[in-house]
Chains A and B, each alone.
Chain A
Amino acid sequence: MRDYTYIRSEKLAVSFFLHKKTVVLTLALAIASVAALLLSTGMGDMRIAPMDVIRALTGGGTEEYQLVVRTLRLPRIIAAFLVGASLAVAGSILQGIIRNPLASPDIIGITSGASVTAVAFINYLAGTVSILWMPVAAMIGAAITAILIYALAWKKGVTPIRLVLIGIGINFLLASLTKVMLVMNPETTAAQAYVWLTGTVYGTDWVVVKTIVPWVCIFIPLAFLLARNVNALQLGDDIASGVGSAVQRQRFVLLMVSVALAGAAVSVGGAISFVGLIAPHMTRKLVGPAFGGVLPIAAFIGGLIVVIADTIARTAFLPYDIPVGVFTAGVGAPFFIYLLYRNRNAA
């Protein structure tokens, strides 16, 4: 019990166990995230010192700095962070309830559902309907796909393996539809669609940030409240029902939470891969599988990966602005490989 500390009140009926390492890591990551936000805001074609960034944020500094910081860079960076955090939390939930290390928002069709509608939108509607509706289309695609998969997997309840197998099947079907649209359409829209499929937060403004914030603010805390259900489901359906979980209902609710988060993230950032798959693994390598601890750390790690990747993507190849999806793996994979190597003798 040395690793734990507790919070207990003598008057109120409140009692918590806290894993010390998790608390320390969460705080450290929170500080790192704020630092990353400030540093990233200062980087780019116009370099701004961190102190000037803070000044511009609080309403001081030159007007030019204010424009660059508050209108151009900050919304993009915040969107990147929220996208990464949502994907990481969605992935953690899925890996918990499906009990398979390969589970991620990509594999159960959420990303491919969003992709197919987004690419269709780019190809067939982009001229007639405002591009601002594309996130909505992507979100609808993700939701329909998730519901379809759940319905197909339902047969007196849903088992994780059936859910995943059917998810993979639908995933491939939609991915090939996307491919058909790419092959059959003129190369300009194909290139645009390809950028979307890689994942990008280019040109994000406050309107976009406002569309994703509610999802994050509702569903990440909700996931936190449901953490103990995930802990039970991680033990397997039999044990979970043995300890009193309503397995089917909880799985459905958790699945929908993860669909909402991943769908919102994908509709803003495109099909950014890898974060939802790897951030949860990184987190478990750092703090173990208890979900209450995994969730905040995964969120910070996911957010940090996307922010750092996007910073590289928009600064390393100036004047080109490269889609962030190209670098999420470039940033995350080396660290993950290091963790894999460091924990090589762990079970």
Chain B
Amino acid sequence: MGRLLPSNLAKIAGLIFGLVIMIVFMLSSMKFGITPIRWSDVFHSFTNYDSSSNEQIIVQTSRVPRALVAAAIGASLAVAGCLIQGLTRNPLADPNVLGINFGASFAVVFSVSVLSLTSLPILTGVSFIGAAAASLAVYLLGSFGRDGLTPLKIILAGAALSALFASFTQGMLVLDAQGLDEVMFWLTGSVAGRSVDMLKAVLPFMAVGWLGAVWAARHMNVLTMGEDTAQGLGQRTIVIKLIVGLIIVALAGSSVAVAGPVGFIGLIIPTIARLFAGSDYRWIVPYSALLGAILVLAADIAARFVIQPSELPVGVLTAVIGIPAFIAIARKGVVKG
């Protein structure tokens, strides 16, 4: 369909334009904040780093990681979202359908309140394992039976297991008010205070996920026509669904590992991306990635200014910025149910 950008040429131009905007936002993310920093300091911190300049140290140790993390998780969550919406053929699905955020939250709260682990790098690993374990369980439970993984079964399995994990998490938090205080910062999701090392730890997973999503796009086009049609056209649907499932886990799992449960990007960005890209996944995937990155970067910059000198959780601002656009698009009726 692609109402806004009908031709392929227009879509390519749109992608390039989006890329430029993303870079502008990344640079802005390095400049704007509580500490005012000049553009020249931003550039010099890359070209000839001066370790005696406070401004340049802030740029390199705090703001650069933050910009990179924001862009990376935005892109990953958005791509994971469009894959899960295709896999379940449900525009209400987001990576959470696989229980990713709830599994990760459970693992993190368990380590903080029972095992008393609080260091962020360790929690990164813990939450990735939690996310992967939860989604594996959902996938297995959704695949029982003769016709394997169906959209309805995966949604129901995910809903049940998510609720189970969420209730365990809530139980631990209610019993342990001290723990609540300590993990609340993690549970709200944030891109602040993350080091480049944490991003590096998950970057391989993300990179594999991005490339995998690009590869899987044309298979998704076939799969979304429906199981029977896809098989009739010669697709091995079981293999494709399994690979797509793994890609979603890699992308959403590593995002939640770095930034905590930042909700809803995976839900709304694919809807917005369809406005530009139509229904072809080969376009939806790159558009989702760019739009997701831009949204999280913008939200993160705005989060620094609303209640100075402290900051709002980035998830709040993604909602405030993204929802009006999302509602406008939903009213336009681009999404066909």
Contacts and interface: CB of A to CB of B under 8 A. Distances in A.
Given A161-B337, A165-B91, A340 B330 contact: no
B335 A198 contact: no
A17 interface: no
Given A191-B180, A194-B174, A340 B160 contact: yes
Given A170-B323, A179-B315, A330-B164, A344 B144 contact: yes
Nearest to A155: B331
Contact of B323 (A172, A182, A273, A328): A172
B319 A176 contact: yes
A102 interface: yes
A100 B323 contact: no
Contacts, number: 156
Given A173-B323, A194-B173, A330-B164, A179 B316 contact: yes
B90 A100 contact: yes
Interface residues of chain B: helix, strand, loop or mixed (majority): helix
B267 A161 contact: no
Given A180-B316, A336-B160, A187 B181 contact: yes
Nearest to B164: A333
Contacts of B92: 100, 102, 107, 164-165, 168
B170 interface: yes
Contacts of B93: 102
A328 B177 contact: no
Max chain B CB contacts within 10 Å: which of A153, A172, A274? A172
A101 B155 contact: yes
Contacts of A170: 323, 327
Given A100-B90, A155-B331, A183-B313, A329 B156 contact: no
B151 to A, nearest CB: 9
Contacts of A306: none
Contact of B177 (A152, A169, A187): A187
B153 A340 contact: yes
B336 to A, nearest CB: 8
Interface in A205-225: none
Nearest to A332: B163
B292 to A, nearest CB: 15
Max chain A CB contacts within 10 Å: which of B160, B164, B307, B331? B160
A100 B200 CA distance: 39
A277 B268 contact: no
Contact of A278 (B153, B159, B168): B159
Contacts of A334: 164
A172 B175 contact: no
A195 B175 CA distance: 10
Contacts of B159: 102, 277-278, 281
B105 interface: no
Nearest to B148: A344
16 contacts: A100-B92, A152-B327, A153-B331, A155-B333, A168-B92, A169-B323, A172-B267, A173-B320, A175-B263, A273-B166, A320-B175, A322-B174, A326-B167, A329-B160, A330-B171, A334-B164
List of 3 A-B pairs having minimum Cβ-Cβ separation, nearest first: A344-B145, A161-B337, A329-B163
Interface of B: 90-93, 141, 144-147, 152-153, 155-157, 159-161, 163-164, 166-168, 170-171, 173-175, 177, 180-181, 184, 188, 263-264, 267-268, 271, 307, 312-313, 315-316, 319-320, 323, 326-327, 330-331, 333, 335-337
Given A166-B327, A277-B163, A330-B168, 18 more contacts: A100-B92, A102-B159, A155-B333, A161-B337, A164-B92, A166-B331, A169-B330, A172-B268, A173-B319, A177-B316, A187-B180, A273-B166, A322-B175, A328-B167, A333-B164, A337-B157, A337-B160, A345-B146
